A and B are shown apart, each in its own frame.
Chain A
Amino acid sequence: MAEKTIQIEIKRQSGPEAPSTWEKFEIPWKPGMNVISVMREIAANPVNSNGQETTPIAYDSNCLEEICGSCAMVINGKARMACSALVDKLEQPIRVQPLTKFPVVRDLAVDRSVLFENLKAVKAWVPVDGTYDLGSGPRIFPQQQEAAYPLSNCISCCCCMEVCPQFNDATGFVGAATIAQVKLFNSHPSGKVLKEERLRALAGDGGVQECGFAQNCVQACPKQLPLTEAISDVTRDVTLQVAKDFLRA
């Protein structure tokens, strides 16, 4: 009996400026495989389906349990995490390509530093650094914790930005992830000291206003963040902040 195999096609690119090409692989099936483990098999025996020797696939991954956010890629046309993309649940040949809206570094590894830049631009942190002990922070009631927890699940995978029709070169939209983090840190009793600065930042070009409410972000988010709710809430806060600033100017 012929051994069961997996057909996979991977869009490859040797460097940022290199042309891209699709390469096909056929590798032995094993139980419980995901797209990352398929690529590990390729690395162990880098031979494509034409029998030609090739290089192992370059990709980002780390935790393999959908918590680090590294391995987002476009699998069978959908942006998702490769580690939770189980081979037995995917249509074959499995077509894997890098995220399309981020510069390719090599193969499936892309540069997602725009999200880091955006998080810095909105000060997505709780400012507690000081030259002396600030003591214990204010108490956060369980009700507040429960409201904040879903937003704290963001793994910075950038799937919400990849699937957003407004996240592109023309708009320079900030994307849902950053807006959700603004809501998270604005709701934190210590973090909200920077609330006004965050809201003003988000009123800049590429800010909340660029959202077209296609709601792809909330569909694609592997961690089920309430992204559309966050965008709605934060846009209201930004609008009120802009109005207040206008009247106090």
Chain B
Amino acid sequence: MATAARPDASQTSSPVGRGVEPLRAGKGNSFLFRKLHSLSGIVPIGAFLIEHLLSNFEALKGPLAYAEQVKFLNSLPLVRFLEVGLIFIPLAYHALYGVYIAMRGKANVIYYPWSGNWMYMMQRWTGYIAFVYIIQHVIRQRFMGVSLPEHPGAAFHKVQMELSNPWMLAVYVIAMIAVCWHFSYGIWLFAAKWGITPGANARRRFGYLCAVLGVVLAVMGLASIYAFVGPNYKNAPADVMPAQTLLYVTPSPGASLS
């Protein structure tokens, strides 16, 4: 005689047994990874972005001032260590984990076209743009062509050659706006998500501040691009600081001056 089997109690918390998984209370390391991603976007990456945009702004003063800036940065103590530890590694982490985050989100702006939802989607798209742009930017400007740490005087010419291609110029303009957007909204997100601006009014006011910062950074960045393609410094010399030959001998004690 068949009797109806009672369903297994361990499987009946959800009568259907599908759908979104409940919270894995206290398990896993994603909190640490996610917070590290959030923090790395502000320091060191955000700080580096500001430094980079300020340095680029020197281009408006011409090839020599730009070269001086490049030379100054490359004369910082432990500069190669700073480059790897404070730029390459954090940037690679932020980029790769950011793509992982973005790919797991399911944007639904078509159904819920609200401003915060738009910004959510834009943060992911500007992130993708920055991801692709920065890879080519680092390869072509840092690791290909003339090496700027050894030849800072060639910096202006190198960028000018790159931007002489109108397609590349378009890429730089789009990427400049995308990166400044991503960073300024990222600051806003950081304040909201770390509990610095819990209040709706505080978030709104801070949003205006971040918008102003984003616009200022983008305008500065676009102005720097203009310095390379505008009429002021056309056909900049290939190297404004040619390798200097030693013109004098350092006097050493005991050596007779002749």
A residues bordering B, Cβ < 8 Å? 16, 77-78, 101-105, 111, 113-114, 117-118, 121-122, 161, 163, 165-174, 178, 200-216, 219-220, 226, 228-229, 231-239, 242
A104 to B198, CA, bound (A): 35
Contact yes or no, A209 B31, CB < 8 A = yes
Contact yes or no, A212 B120, CB < 8 A = yes
Q: Does B16 contact A (CB under 8 A)?
A: yes
Contact yes or no, A232 B193, CB < 8 A = yes
A245 shortest CB reach to chain B, Å: 10
Contact yes or no, A214 B194, CB < 8 A = no
Which of B45-53, B107-115, B136-144, B209-217 sits within the interface?
B107-115
A157 shortest CB reach to chain B, Å: 16
Which of B19, B32, B103, B200 is close to A229, meaning CB atoms less than 8 Å apart?
Answer: B200
Q: Which residues of A contact B120 (CB under 8 A)?
A: 165, 212-215
Contact yes or no, A172 B23, CB < 8 A = yes
A70 shortest CB reach to chain B, Å: 16
Q: Which residues of B contact A122 (CB under 8 A)?
A: 23, 25
Give the one of A77, A204, A237 with max B CB within 10 A.
A204
Known: A172-B24, A216-B114. A209 touches B107 (CB 8 A): no
Contact yes or no, A163 B108, CB < 8 A = yes
B183 shortest CB reach to chain A, Å: 16
Which of A103, A169, A204, A232 is close to B26, meaning CB atoms less than 8 Å apart?
Answer: A204
Q: Which residues of A contact B26 (CB under 8 A)?
A: 200-201, 203-204
Contact yes or no, A228 B192, CB < 8 A = yes
Interface size on B, residues (CB 8 A): 47
A217 shortest CB reach to chain B, Å: 10
A113 to B19, CA, bound (A): 10
Contact yes or no, A202 B23, CB < 8 A = yes
Contact yes or no, B25 A169, CB < 8 A = no
- 15 CB-based A-B contacts, threshold 8 Å: A77-B111, A103-B18, A105-B16, A118-B23, A121-B22, A122-B23, A168-B105, A173-B20, A203-B26, A203-B31, A204-B25, A214-B117, A215-B120, A216-B108, A239-B195
Residue of A nearest to B34 (CB): A209
Q: Which residues of B contact A215 (CB under 8 A)?
A: 114, 116-117, 120
Residue of A nearest to B199 (CB): A229
Contact yes or no, B30 A205, CB < 8 A = yes
Q: List 4 tightest A-B contacts by C-beta distance, closest first.
A: A236-B195, A215-B116, A205-B28, A214-B120
Which of B107, B111, B112, B194 is close to A235, meaning CB atoms less than 8 Å apart?
Answer: B194
Contact yes or no, A237 B19, CB < 8 A = no
Q: Does B14 contact A (CB under 8 A)?
A: yes
Which of A165, A200, A206 is close to B108, meaning CB atoms less than 8 Å apart?
Answer: A165
Contact yes or no, B22 A118, CB < 8 A = yes
B85 shortest CB reach to chain A, Å: 22
Contact yes or no, A111 B193, CB < 8 A = no
Contact yes or no, A16 B22, CB < 8 A = no
B182-207 interface (Cβ within 8 A of A): 189, 192-200, 203
Known: A113-B14, A233-B198. A103 touches B25 (CB 8 A): no
